[in-house]
Structure 1
Amino acid sequence: MITFIACIVLLIIGYLTYGKFVDKVFGTDDRETPAVRLQDGVDYVPMNNKRIFLIQLLNIAGLGPITGAIQGALFGPVVYLWIVLGTIFAGGVHDYMTGMLSMRNNGGSISEIVGKYLGGGMKQVMRVFSVILLLMVGTVFAVGPSSLLAMLTPKTLDKNFWLIVVLIYYFLATLLPVDKLIGKIYPFFGVCLIIMAAGVGVGLVAKGYPLPEMQLTNMHPSDIPIWPFMFITVACGAISGFHATQSPMMARCLTTEKKGRQIFYGAMVAEGVIALVWAAAGVSFYESTGGLLAVLTDPNIGPNGAVYEICMTILGPVGGILAMIGVIACPISSGDTAFRSARLTIADWFKVDQSDVKKRLALTVPILGFGAIVGGFFDYSVIWRYFSWSNQTLAMIALWAAAVYLWQKKKKYIIAAIPATFMSAVSATYFLAAPECLGLMKHGKLSLAYGLGAVVACVFLGIFLKTTVLSKKQMEKEA
């Protein structure tokens, strides 16, 4: 219990100290923001800061810090360490920098930001990469809730029926001005997400669940190695590239840069606290990682069933309601903003004016059509297979772009370069080792994956240093 409480305290201290340091390094000022300068009543809409925070939290969180953290709990209490350190030094920096850089670049999407700081070639790669990622997320979070709703309603209302209902909602959320639908319902569900996490966290302590203290040992029942799999599994609870696609939406609504730390870094810390609560629940509720694995792999329970069971047991009937909101509304909230972000990314790509409803329709219809076709005919587990890796790879690229920006501005680029190097090692090693990728682990060559992953990270760091710091020193020497 001491470890659990200490970790929550550390996250709060991290926001108050390192978050403030990152904000100072970036250097916010009183310049006019895109929400004011480019106000169009559709995507650039000034909104209240509290509302923006709750929307940002739900945008980046959804079901991610719940199910990801529960599955991360299979590794044991060591997962606490990654959630805390990852949130403070990687996820918080990532979300803050992508949000603030978007504000400094007219609310531009992550692909445009990356292109500006890493070059035109990377811009094209990121445009395709981020759109595919967003469409995958949107489709998965349409199919998943649809399947669950089908289980809870009469047989005549099957998965395809609910998929159509969800996609109709997605259509409206993607098309309508951000303050008309998302701006009205997201704050409510954001509060529900916070209440659910707070209730579960307090319940774990008050009811005396055996919250284990920190152990730096791997407790995964299947002996899946911590490196790099834990760092990919937890994802949204520590750092997630998906957040880089979401932050620009709120960057178009903030009326002052001074609130950037509260909105972007703060929402990531709040998500870290939520993830920590659910990791603790996963570690303690089923008494052992073996018991947790049995529940997660049971086709009749799975991660969603585990969330429902934990909420019902700890919080009673109210917990059941919150659990249903969590496993149905939260993924839907990730899906609709994924499709909306895809529209904005494509609009930035082809310079399509989104104040014109006909032009918004021209992008929205094919985007949602993709979701309907893929979601209706393909197993979403297949679609999801490569999401985890692509998600963290996007985070890596965004951090490298932030490091270049900070170097250009003669600021402490190390705050982005170090987590960028770390995430480069994570992404490269996972790609080399994971069964769904190159699969070196299943061939007994995990050590090779470790070595090559470290080499890739060093190469990326070397490229960064050569094209920035070392090139500057060489030019000064020649001069």
Structure 2
Amino acid sequence: MATFIIGLCILVGGGYLYGHFVERVFEPDDRETPAYSKQDGVDYVPMATWRNALINLLNIAGTGPILGPIQGILFGPLAFIAMPLGCVLGGSMHDYFCGMICTREGGEQMPQFVGKYTNKGIYYLYNVFICILLILCGTVFIYTPGDIFDTQILGRSGAATDYVTWIVYTCIFIYYLIATVFPIDKIIGRIYPIFGAILLISAVGIFIAIFAKGYPLTNVWGSWDTVGKFASDGGFNYGAYFGSSPFAANGHHFIPVFFVTVACGILSGFHSTQTSIVSRTIKSEKSGRFVFYDMMLTEGFIAMCWAAGTMAMINLGAKAGGVTMTKDGLFQAMQAGKLVQVNATTVVGVLCKNALGPIGGMIAIIGVIVLPITSGDTALRSVRLTITDTFHLKQNSNAKRLGLAAPIFAVVYVILIWAKMDANGFNTLWRYFGWSNQMMTLFALASVCIYLYAHGKGRFAWMPMMIASFYSFVTCAFIMSQQIGFNLPWNVSYIIAIVWTIFYLFITIHAGKKRANTAPSGQTVAA
């Protein structure tokens, strides 16, 4: 429990101090924001700070800060320290700079921002990359909430052969289409405060239950082997899963696997695509720290709660209403009086009902369903905006927006059908989504670095580059070593990752120094 509390102190205290520092580096002022200067009643719409904050939180908080920590906590209590540190130094800094720079650049979306501060080749590569990621994100965030609703609320099997499964998917699909096409303040701005209340009740409820029920948590300085310590079928040997070295842990390498697994609870490239949407609706630059930086801290808090709750369920064991772990890190739970293997989605229901009881648990499950839905709709909205800005398409009517959204949604539904019908479809989809999500940060952080140089703040380039260098190594080592990538030996993967990281840092800093003597606004890249 003490390690968990220390992690929370790092998150809150560190976030407060570093958040103020990040804000001073950017220097927000009283200039007119795009919400007023480009107001169009569709995407550029002035909205209240509290509403923007809730929208941004729900946009960025998909299943990542839930399913990621559920898997990531198998690495042991070190997760309670790694997550808040990464969130404070990396995730929140990334979200703030991306959101604020897009605001100051006239509400530009990320492809235009990246293109302006890198080059035309990177601009086109990023456009393709971001559209693929967002389409995968939209697909994942139909599949995941649909399955949770189908199995945990309706009590169905969630199988591809069950017609109810497809009815649920289609309902979410239709909502996404409406939210993607209609003005942001008509759909998203009105419904999100309700979703936000459910989300916060869920997270705070689990947080309170951790202390009120005295759930057993493991400390960094204690024994990491808790098998049988709290219950006959409870506990897990986190030390064996982690291994004796962060670089060699029985195939479960802490670096890079943990940081790709947890993702959204620490740092997520997807977030930049969402903060750029909100950059078109904030009334004042000075509200940016609360809307962008602090909402990422809130997501870190959500991730911390789910990680702690999952560890508690593992230590309790299935017979006590939690889950039992196999030596390979597979979840098992009691169903119809039998111990059966389950996935992370089922763990969500187990934790909610154990921590909050039948009624509170049901509310929490609804909150978990809301999270991915409120990220999926804006992910697909971002695809439309990216294509619109790239090809300078007019979107001044519902018919034109629907015409562009229709083919995007057709692709999403085809991928959804494949992922559901193929036995390993979703696992493959999720792994590529997780890796590509982290890859996105390299584009964003490089652009932030160059922006700082171009605006006479090169002395602060270490802020994005410190995090970018780490994730450059993580993403390269991951794709080189995993079966979904090149499946190379770990030592070879690490060497390649080191070389790539040095190259990435060199070209980024070199580009930044070249821009140091150019006009601050840079030149817009033509599509």
1:223 CA drift (Å)? 4.7
8 Å CA contact 2:453–2:516 kept in 1: the answer is: no
Q: Which of 294, 297, 312 pairs up with 1:284?
A: 312
Amino acid across the alignment from 2:169: L
- Whole-Å Cα distance in 1 between the matches of residues 260 and 185 of structure 2? 33
40-49 or 354-363, which moves further after superposition? 354-363
- Whole-Å Cα distance in 2 between the matches of residues 24 and 357 of structure 1? 41
TM-score by length of 1: 0.93
Secondary structure of the 1:160 match is helix
1:408 CA drift (Å)? 1.0
- Whole-Å Cα distance in 2 between the matches of residues 117 and 272 of structure 1? 29
Deviations 1:144-173 (A, max 9, x none): 333344442679742222222211111101
- Whole-Å Cα distance in 2 between the matches of residues 351 and 471 of structure 1? 27
Partner of 2:510: 466
1:290 CA drift (Å)? 6.9
C-alpha change, 1:205 and 1:457, in structure 2 (3 Å) is same
1:299 CA drift (Å)? 7.6
8 Å CA contact 2:445–2:464 kept in 1: the answer is: yes
- Whole-Å Cα distance in 1 between the matches of residues 330 and 428 of structure 2? 22
Secondary structure of the 1:286 match is helix
1:197 CA drift (Å)? 1.4
Partner of 1:349: 390
Counterpart check, 1:227 vs 2:255: yes
8 Å CA contact 2:96–2:289 kept in 1: the answer is: yes
Over aligned residue pairs, what C-alpha RMSD do you find?
2.2
- Whole-Å Cα distance in 1 between the matches of residues 183 and 324 of structure 2? 47
Counterpart check, 1:416 vs 2:422: no
Deviations 1:14-35 (A, max 9, x none): 2221011001101111111111
8 Å CA contact 2:449–2:509 kept in 1: the answer is: no
C-alpha change, 1:260 and 1:218, in structure 2 (3 Å) is farther
Deviations 1:331-368 (A, max 9, x none): 22221111111111111111122233222112111111
Amino acid across the alignment from 2:172: V
Amino acid across the alignment from 1:184: R
Amino acid across the alignment from 2:493: A
Amino acid across the alignment from 1:199: G
Partner of 1:330: 371
- Whole-Å Cα distance in 1 between the matches of residues 251 and 472 of structure 2? 24
1:296 CA drift (Å)? 6.7
Q: Which runs of 5+ in 1 are unaligned?
A: 474-479
The share of aligned pairs that are identical, in percent, is 39
Deviations 1:62-91 (A, max 9, x none): 221011111110101111222111101110
8 Å CA contact 2:59–2:375 kept in 1: the answer is: yes
Q: Which of 496, 500, 510 pairs up with 1:456?
A: 500
- Whole-Å Cα distance in 1 between the matches of residues 506 and 330 of structure 2? 44
- Whole-Å Cα distance in 1 between the matches of residues 480 and 70 of structure 2? 25
8 Å CA contact 1:173–1:340 kept in 2: the answer is: yes
Amino acid across the alignment from 1:225: H
Counterpart check, 1:159 vs 2:165: yes
Aligned residues: 469
TM-score by length of 2: 0.84
Partner of 1:477: none
- Whole-Å Cα distance in 2 between the matches of residues 56 and 306 of structure 1? 26
C-alpha change, 1:250 and 1:218, in structure 2 (3 Å) is farther
Partner of 1:263: 291
Partner of 2:336: none
- Whole-Å Cα distance in 1 between the matches of residues 97 and 487 of structure 2? 33
Partner of 2:185: 179
Query: Where does 1:116-155 land on structure 2 (aligned, <5 Å)?
Result: 116-151=116-151, 152=154
8 Å CA contact 1:296–1:303 kept in 2: the answer is: no
Q: Which runs of 5+ in 2 are unaligned?
A: 225-237, 243-249, 318-322, 334-338, 420-424, 518-527
